[in-house]
Amino acid sequence: MTRKGLLVTAAMVLAMGGGALADTSGKRIALSNNYAGNSWRQAMLESWKRVTDKAVADGVVGGADAFTTAENQATEQAAQIQNMILQGYDAIVINSASPTALNGAIKEACDAGITVVSFDGVVTEPCAWRVAVDFKKMGANEIAYLEKRLPEGGNLLEIRGLAGVSVDDQIHAGIEEAVKANPKFKIVGSVNGDWAQDVAQKAVAGILPSLPEIAAVVTQGGDGYGAAQAFAAAGRPTPIIIMGNRQDELKWWGEQRAKNGYETVSTSIAPGVSTLAFWVAQQILDGKDVPKDLTVPFLSVTPDTLDQALKDTPEGGVTNVDYTLEDAQKVIAGTK
């Protein structure tokens, strides 16, 4: 069955008075998002709107409003959460600016009887739920891939994400540990690309003149195309660049493959994880027993799946999937 079919099925269950949806029709869920300055975050918000608009129209929940802070400021996001408490939301789904800085505001929400589900940028407050991928493993997998491609090793440039966010710290830790275990690789330079192509291009262009020959670029997503442009502008040979499922970098990869057989791999968390967190919150509000920690897999593009990913990914967008109620139920059951 297609994902569209699954959503239709969920709506049919509601129409028939299915118990799984009966208790949340009047509940309101808010999205607290800490940042929207790149294509992944825009796709994440679009997924949220697409799925929650339908859930509201179908009577699954009473509302699902989205709010984004200006510039990844934990203090601003904490104030945003406190305002959501005052507005009487039944659940808050949060992509957090910090794993710890918002714990006080989150505890206030929990004490007020509000369900809190964090995703992507998860939080450590025990009262909250967490929906995440194993970002540390994602970083380690990049080095595992390069070990196969570059058996002799080589110099690496690391492009990190948004400073201070747990996702950046975890991916970096995975890369760092894997490099220590594979001393034939050496990180000779590191910059922050903020998960945005333009920022990454500028940062890489600034550090390249001081770097020796680079065999590969390890990344976090949203930075591969910018890195490729910086290397081209500097007249440097193009290294293996790990991609992050953005349409512009997948398109560039396809063009380079056609020209010279360029090969790499692309991995990221699906922006639609926001919709999985929404359904998890809905299930908790509906009285279901949901484990506090839920893990979802990466969404990867390989040479074998590149052509299909290019067909499915909109221009300027990110390879994505919208999660359904059934998907959430499967993740919950699998975790149990």
pLDDT at 238 over 50: yes
What's the CA gap between 328 and 285, in Å, rounded? 14
CA 131 vs. chain centroid, Å, equals 10
Q: Which two tokens stand for residue 264?
A: 């790499």
Q: In angstroms, what CA-CA distances link 220 with 191, 210, 296?
A: 11, 22, 17
DSSP assigned state of 162 = S
**Other C-beta atoms within 10 Å of 130: how many?**
22
Q: Would you state the pLDDT for residue 133?
A: 87
Give tens-digit pLDDT for 146-200: 999 999 999 999 999 988 888 899 999 999 999 999 999 999 999 999 999 999 9
Q: Would you state the pLDDT for residue 157?
A: 98
pLDDT at 3 over 90: no
Q: Could you tell me the fold of the domain covering 3-133+270-298+322-335?
A: Rossmann fold (3.40.50)
What's the CA gap between 239 and 56, in Å, rounded? 47
Confirm whether 3-133+270-298+322-335 and 135-268 share one CATH topology: yes
What's the CA gap between 203 and 136, in Å, rounded? 23
Q: Which two tokens stand for residue 182?
A: 């594979």
Q: Which of 195, 99, 177 is nearest to 136 (CA)?
A: 177
Q: In angstroms, what CA-CA distances link 47 with 14, 40, 41, 54, 274?
A: 21, 10, 10, 11, 7
The percent of residues in the chain predicted with pLDDT above 70, rounded, is 93
Q: Would you state the pLDDT for residue 50?
A: 98
pLDDT at 231 over 60: yes
Asked whether 167 and 121 are in contact (CB, 8 A), the reply is yes
Residues 6+ apart with CB under 8 A from 307: 254
**For tokens 């290019």, what's the residue?**
310
Q: Could you tell me the fold of the domain covering 135-268?
A: Rossmann fold (3.40.50)
Q: Would you state the pLDDT for residue 14?
A: 36
The percent of residues in the chain predicted with pLDDT above 90, rounded, is 85
Q: Would you state the pLDDT for residue 21?
A: 45
DSSP assigned state of 128 = S
What's the CA gap between 279 and 67, in Å, rounded? 18
CA 253 vs. chain centroid, Å, equals 21
**Considering the entire predicted model, what is its pTM?**
0.82
Listed by start position, the domains of the chain span 3-133+270-298+322-335, 135-268
Give tens-digit pLDDT for 51-72: 999 999 999 999 999 999 877 7
Asked whether 247 and 121 are in contact (CB, 8 A), the reply is no
Burial code of 191-225, b = ≥16 C-beta within 10 A, e = fewer?
Answer: bbbbbbbbbbbebbbeebeeeeebbbbbbbbbbbb
> What does the pLDDT average to over 111-117?
98
